[in-house]
Structure 1
Amino acid sequence: MSKFENYYVLSICKTLLICGLVLYLCTIFFFNDSNHFASSHLFSSLKSTISCPFTTQTTSISSTNISHIIFGLLGSQKAWHHRKSYIESWWRPNITKGHLLLDVPPQGDDLLSWSLNSPPYRISDNVSKLLKETNHVEPRVLRMVHGIMEVVREVHEGVRWIIMGDDDSVFFVDNMVDILAQYDHTKHYYFGGHSEYILSNYWYSFNQAFGGAGIIMSYPLAKEFAKNVMSCLKRYAHLRSADRTTMNCIADIGVNLSPLQGIHQIDLRGDISGFLSYHPKSLLTSLHHFDMVDPIFPSMDRVKSVFHLQKVAKYDQSRMLQQTICHKKSSNWTFSVSWGYSAHIYEKIMPRSWIQRPIETFKAWQPSPNPPYYMFDVRSPSWDPCEAPHVFFFKSVEKTQRGEIVTTYTRAWPRAIGACLSSGNFSAEYVSEIHVYSPTTKRIQIDKCECCDMIHEAGSNKADIKYRECKINEIIA
């Protein structure tokens, strides 16, 4: 555009602006004089008329709560006899919505009188009939994938999210609600977690949600999935993995996985205390495969362990398993707390970059001759007194009169390998109990871990840890 053309356009704009202003002032004078209109009304109407065409009008949406979520739990009649306690540890009768899908009607005296603390049950659709329609190679896969549609068709008004899981999983519902409240439920979302065992992701897919620990779909996606489930089951009738089939069906709709770190498939074996004591900085939402690992608390069986964990979850789920680190520099001790589960004392000042790696107390899901085994960094158990922690486990929880939550952790066993000589020979062997004081306020948006102060008098068998927000430029080392 030439200079002349620029000048011409500017002149026209100035003329129009002046004319508009004169007309506006005259209109105000006229209406004020005749008492027909208030100038403020006219101005507000003009503002709405000339608003920017690119501005979108947003309507306020109530925050997501537990009533907006439906659970679909897949189980078998045979396993429910011993697995129902896992679900009953977190299920809230008349509050949590959803149901258990059983393969056959319940049998046995313990199931015929259905527990009010369990989810209501439904019987899965006739798998034999579905096999004929789809020509699928695996009845179990067919039942699990088709189960999503069976849950959706019973959905009541107001549902925003569908969560599918297995009957040997423990969910932390408050954290799930807080996470999902951050997303627009009218959009298409597919949430889930990876397997901890790297080869499981390689064998199936790094883009799938491992469903035992929870597959989460926004309701619009779940409805679309249910509408197309039969054609999808025919299309992938050769697949023997329900999770991969579900992923493919969702991918064909045009939606990909959004991973959540707090969903744990627990594709591990044995003692997973090392894994639970060094949780990633994210809200804990689920733990799967309780039948496949050791009880998570010493001297308790699996059922008692699950209820013990849920006992502290009733006080504050936002801090569950969150790792907090502080130091007692006068004795060169490092404290690492996995809130609500365990506390460790190291007889050396350790940086967070080292201490946040889980101790490999567990084994891989399947034997494999060569690493890598896991989707996360680990460190090997050590008999070095400077690297091996004194281990404490959660014992009790209560609220103080000052409005704090205090969790108590007691020593699991004597470490009995001597003191760390290189850091001054300050043994922590005599410490038998740790009290952790934390605020009652939630920490949903976790951009940075909390810090803490350690209070301990030399020779005392008890230590107090007080949580606080980290100071500016505070280095946890």
Structure 2
Amino acid sequence: MLDPLKTSKFFVSSVTIKPVDLLVFLFKTTLAIFTLVSISLFFHFVFSNQSICLTSTISNNNQQQKFIAVNTSSAQAYGRTNLSHVLFGIGGSAKTWNERRLYSQLWWRPNVTRGFVWLDDKPPGGENLPPTSPPYKISEDTSRFKYTCWYGSRSAVRMARIVKESFELGLDNVRWFVMGDDDTVFFLENLLTVLNKYDHNQMYYVGGNSESVEQDVIHSYNMAYGGGGFAVSYALAAELVKTLDGCIDRYASFYGSDQKIHGCMSEIGIPVTKELGFHQVDIRGNPYGLLAAHPLAPLVSLHHLDYVQPIFPGMTRIESLKKLITAYEKDPSRALQHSFCYDLKRNRSISVSWGYTVQLYPYLETAKKLETAFSTFQSWRTWKNGPFTFNTRPVEKDPCERPVTYFWDRAESGNGDRTLTRYARHVEESGKECERLDHAPATGVKFIGVSSAKLNPAVWSMAPRRQCCEVINGGEGADHLVQVKIRGCHRFETVTPP
């Protein structure tokens, strides 16, 4: 058996460790262990906190992306807006409603369109109005509100509150409140095309300006003009009704109801979303030049039709509008859309305002001029030749410098989704025509036929581009009938004269 003392002596003598060295060794070992533990704890603290921050960041980003995704897809999630989602508020007067309702009856669809004309009193024969007329409501008393515009009418206060009173009816399934006047004509399919570009769950204020610069200077460039009509999304209407009555008093000096509403929009912080198809028609005289060079946008509304000449010559205003609507119904998205092209064989230019008019030039005209409206009208307030919010060009006095004019005559059924429209030669009331021999072949053309595929409303959600056209008939047939085909433009295609 080993002696413990001997064994101990053996190991000690074998290693020969001094007491001082043993203390140093123990100190260094302890220090190393402490350092190692400290470093481990440090990195654990850092990386665990980074993990917490990273997890929080990812979580927040995911929530934000989810929020954005929900909002950007909300319009699709709720489905397309149709007429049942639109509530119209039409401003009118009991004294004039029996005459003005003829305009509303052109576009109102009984049991389909929703809304009311808001009057100051019960109209004569109110119980016997035809079913084709919008139903009426009598506005609340507005005598408590201020109105200090010396040249205006207090009816502006009542008109401004139509959107509020319409909202407070509490009707279900309303996405948009659309305001207009009793002499406003709406083109419903195109109105829906425009509204479907926007999400009614967001705050949108959609409309157009006046055509006359003098009106925009006096009232505002940043306002949706009420006669041309404007649309307020449900989300915005919910905010607007809370402050509108206060705005009416704060903007008591403003002339019109649309100005007062715009004052409120400024306080809420919502700018107007401009759409070129809303037409205030702040012009006097003949609207031909404006309509024959319609902007690249769907036709949504026409206003002030009592103050301009009939759209088609030789007809009453109502007859003219019925004719335009008949053409519109054949292809709503294409109504008044402008296309032009060249007949290089005969050195002619052809400009088409679909469903309305065609202009035949016996010479090659530049695209810049062809897209510019003829100044057949004057400004709204001063009856001057401008300025307007779009370019115009004068109508030449010499008939040889003017195009031969044709108006929409009828439409025929085409193959599949194609439409064939015919335009008949119009002779001016003055009877003055160009007697030059080189002009005779053009004046000899009695009709112009236009073939086109129905325009898909989806094009208005794409980058805008005017469609192209081409002359398609042969040599002999063109003496009395010119046939034109409107189509989408080919890649790199331009309207460039030789």
Instruction: State the TM-score, normalizing by the size of structure 2.
Output: 0.80
State which of 113, 127, 134 in structure 2 corresponds to 1:96. Answer: 113
Shift in Å at residue 440 of structure 1? 2.3
Partner of residue 292, structure 1: 307
In the alignment, does 2:199 pair up with 1:180? no
CA distance in 2, matches of 1:51, 1:76: 55
| Inter-CA distance 149–103: structure 2 relative to 1 (3 Å threshold) | same
2:481 to 448, 457, 462: 462
Tell me, what secondary structure is at the counterpart of 1:290? coil
Question: Please, which of 241, 262, 266 is the counterpart of residue 247 of structure 1?
Answer: 262
Structure 2 residue aligned with 1:135? 146
Q: Determine which structure has the larger helix proportion and give its number.
A: 2
Q: CA deviation at 1:385?
A: 5.7
Distance in 1 of aligned mates of 2:255 and 2:407 = 40
**d(CA) in 2 for partners of 1:468, 1:345:** 19
Asked if the contact 2:422–2:448 (Cα under 8 Å) also holds between the matched residues in 1, the reply is yes
Measured after TM superposition, the shift of residue 427 of structure 1 is 2.8
User: Which digits, 9 at most, give the CA deviation of each residue in 1:286-308, with x for residues without a partner?
Assistant: 11000000011011100111111
Q: CA deviation at 1:131?
A: 2.2
Q: Where do 1:199-214 residues align within 5 Å? A: 199-214=214-229
CA distance in 1, matches of 2:251, 2:417: 55
CA distance in 2 between partners of 1:416 and 1:377 (Å)? 27
CA deviations over 1:225-283 (Å, ceiling 9, x no partner):
12222222222223222221110011111211111111110011111111100011111
**Which of 124, 134, 137 pairs up with 1:107?**
124
Native 8 Å contact 1:383 1:417 kept in 2: no
- After superposing on structure 2, the runs of 4+ consecutive aligned residues of structure 1 that deviate more than 6 Å are 48-51
**Aligned-residue offset at 1:61:** 2.4
Distance in 2 between residues matched to 1:419 and 1:382, nearest whole Å: 16
- Tell me which residue corresponds to 2:354: 339
| SS of residue matched to 2:330 | coil
Task: State the secondary structure of the residue aligned to 2:320.
Answer: helix
The residue that corresponds to 2:38 in the other structure is none
Residue 418 of structure 1 deviates from its aligned partner by 3.2
| Structure 1 letter corresponding to 2:184 | S
Number of matched pairs = 426
Q: Which runs of 5+ in 1 are unaligned?
A: 1-7, 18-47
Which residue in 1 is equivalent to 2:316? 301
Q: CA deviation at 1:397?
A: 1.7
1:433 matched residue in structure 2: 447
Higher mean alpha-carbon deviation, 435-444 vs 337-346, is at: 435-444
Instruction: Please name the residue that 1:145 is paired with.
Output: 160
- Alignment-mate amino acid for residue 101 of structure 2: K
Quote the offset at 1:465 in angstroms. Answer: 1.2
Largest Rg, 1 or 2 = 2
The superposition leaves residues 78-103 of structure 1 with CA deviations (integer Å, 9 ceiling, x where unpaired) of 22222212111111111111111112
Q: CA deviation at 1:104?
A: 1.2
Indicate the SS of the match to 1:92: coil
Change over 3 Å in CA distance of 1:236–1:169 after alignment to 2: same
The correspondence of residues 360-399 of structure 1 with structure 2, limited to 5 A, is 360-367=375-382, 372-384=386-398, 387-399=401-413
Asked if 1 retains the 8 angstrom alpha-carbon contact of 2:400 and 2:433, the reply is no
Contact 1:348–1:386 (Cα < 8 Å) also in 2: no
Q: Are the equivalent residues in 2 in contact too, given 1:450–1:467 (CA < 8 A)?
A: yes
- Displacement of 1:386 in angstroms is 6.0
Paired amino acid for 1:136: Y
User: In 1, are the aligned partners of 2:193 and 2:457 still within 8 Å (CA)?
Assistant: no
Q: Aligned partners of 1:398, 1:227: CA distance in 2, in Å?
A: 52
Q: Where do residues 243-282 of structure 1 align in structure 2 (5 Å cutoff)?
A: 243-282=258-297
1:472 corresponds in structure 2 to 491
Decide whether aligned partners of structure 1 residues 197 and 51 sit closer, same or farther in structure 2, where only a CA change above 3 A counts.
closer
* Correspondence list, 1:61-72, <5 A: 61-72=78-89
| Secondary structure at the counterpart of residue 86 of structure 1 | helix
Which residue does the alignment assign to 1:33?
Answer: none
Q: What is the distance in 1 between the residues matched to 2:374 and 2:60?
A: 63
Of 327, 332, 336, the residue aligned with 1:317 is 332
Query: Match for 2:103: what amino acid?
Result: Y
Share of identical aligned residues, percent? Answer: 33
The TM-score normalised by the length of structure 1 is 0.84
Q: How far 1:212 sits from its partner (Å)? A: 0.7
State the match for 2:96 in structure 1: 79
Secondary structure (helix, strand or coil) at the match of 1:230 reads: helix
